[in-house]
Amino acid sequence: MPATDEITSNDDPRPDDRPGARMPRWLPRAMVLALALVACFQLATWGFHQLITLLLNILIAFFLALAVEPAVDWMAARGVRRGVATGAVFLGILVVAAGFFALLGSMLAGQIAKMVEEFPQYLDSVISWLNTTFHSHLSRVEVQNNLLRSDWLQKYVQDSANNVLAVSAQVLGSLFNLLSVALFSFYFAADGPRLRRALCSVLPPRRQTEVLRAWEIAVAKTGGYLYSRGLMALISGVAHYVLLEILGVPYAPALGVWVGLVSQFIPTIGTYMAGALPILIAFTVDPWYAVWVFGFVVIYQQFENYLLQPRITARTVDIHPAVAFGSVVAGTALLGAVGALIAIPATATLQAFLGAYVKRYEVTDDPRVHGRTRRIRGARVLARVRRTLHEPRPPAPLRDRGAGTDGGDDPGERGTADERRTADERGGPAEG
């Protein structure tokens, strides 16, 4: 083997010694760490989706506990044990809710039975109107047979029979969620001071003050929201009860309570749900009564939105109607009906808490701040015109009494007149 070839072969770097040929030592660890982070993120996402119902129940229970805490504190301050006071408050709420639903159920059962009995008469009147208006030849027996033999009705009955288990599971799930909310809210209200102590024990003293202040604001705003809603529900219920009683619609007290509660405590669609039932029952008495009830519902809703609600909300929750509407829309988009229900007290709490830390300054006395820019500008123009009209005219130049026939002005007198005119414009005496 030649020497040159040996030297050349020995000088060539090996594949392992070339730059970039060997894997860095940190790369496997980084890959393992990245895979671990992705796995943890996927696991956390899966767990959050599995626990979303529980988290929503806890959130509802927390706001419900904030709402009943003033009553519990009032009873506890008078010597009642906190657990007993919380149980008494929840028992009162349960009795009122059970009585309302029992009264509403009996009303609905009676009205449904009456509508079923009088359905043939309603059908005859509708068929008679159709035959008279459109010159048709329909009969009630033919309509009933076509309705009973229709494909969509048979398919609906078959689907309902197949979905009995699904509907039963949904009902049981709703009952379980309701019991979970009641249990968590009872613990939050009964152990409120202990919960606050446990939360403050892991925070420095300055943060403890802020947390307690936020808690106090949340209790006040949530209670004020429920108070305002309860007051508006009372006014709405009384107003609709008076109308239904005047028209002679049956079950007027229960319908008034229904309209008041549903329209105030079910956001967005509560107004339509509340007005549909009285309109339907009024239609069974007289179709024109249903028109009267519909018109009253629409007019009262406008009165409530533009006059009643802003005044009551400003006194209790202290939140602008536009902000309240936006918070309800945002809460509905995020959490559905639950978000719409708790959006206003949550927004009011956040607004009041942030307002304590926002520095405010005195507003300048500018007409544009008060919205009177155009009015004041017009008043200034008008005052300037009046001043111009009422100002005295400057005196004419003094003529030379000893002038000749040329009638020319004396330069000295003309200068004096010019100085007087200038002084009059300045508002001061002339010099000389």
Mean pLDDT per block of 10 residues along the chain (432 residues) reads 49 52 80 93 92 88 87 89 91 86 75 73 78 79 73 71 74 86 90 87 85 83 82 89 89 84 75 85 83 90 80 71 77 78 79 71 71 58 69 55 46 50 49 42
Q: How confident is the model at residue 402, as a pLDDT?
A: 45
62, two tokens:
């927390």
Q: How confident is the model at residue 143, as a pLDDT?
A: 73
Eight-state DSSP code of residue 250: S
Q: How confident is the model at residue 19, as a pLDDT?
A: 53
Site of tokens 């936020």: 214
Cα separation, 322 vs 307, whole angstroms: 14
100, two tokens:
């309302």
Asked if 68 and 89 touch (Cβ cutoff 8 Å), the reply is yes
Domain segments of the chain as ranges? 56-142+167-202, 217-358
Q: How confident is the model at residue 139, as a pLDDT?
A: 76
Alpha helices in 77-163 (DSSP H): 82-134, 140-148, 151-162
312, two tokens:
């009551």
173, two tokens:
């799930």
Cα separation, 381 vs 368, whole angstroms: 17
Q: How confident is the model at residue 56, as a pLDDT?
A: 87
Q: How confident is the model at residue 161, as a pLDDT?
A: 66
Residue 129 CB neighbour total at 10 angstroms: 10
Would you say the C-alpha torsion 308, 313, 319, 325 has a positive or negative sign? negative
Burial class of residue 70 (count of CB atoms within 10 Å of its CB; 0-12, 13-18, 19+):
middle
Q: How confident is the model at residue 122, as a pLDDT?
A: 74
Q: String of b and e for 239-254 (b: at least 16 CB within 10 Å)?
A: bbbebbeebebebbeb
Burial class of residue 229 (count of CB atoms within 10 Å of its CB; 0-12, 13-18, 19+):
buried
Q: How confident is the model at residue 295, as a pLDDT?
A: 92
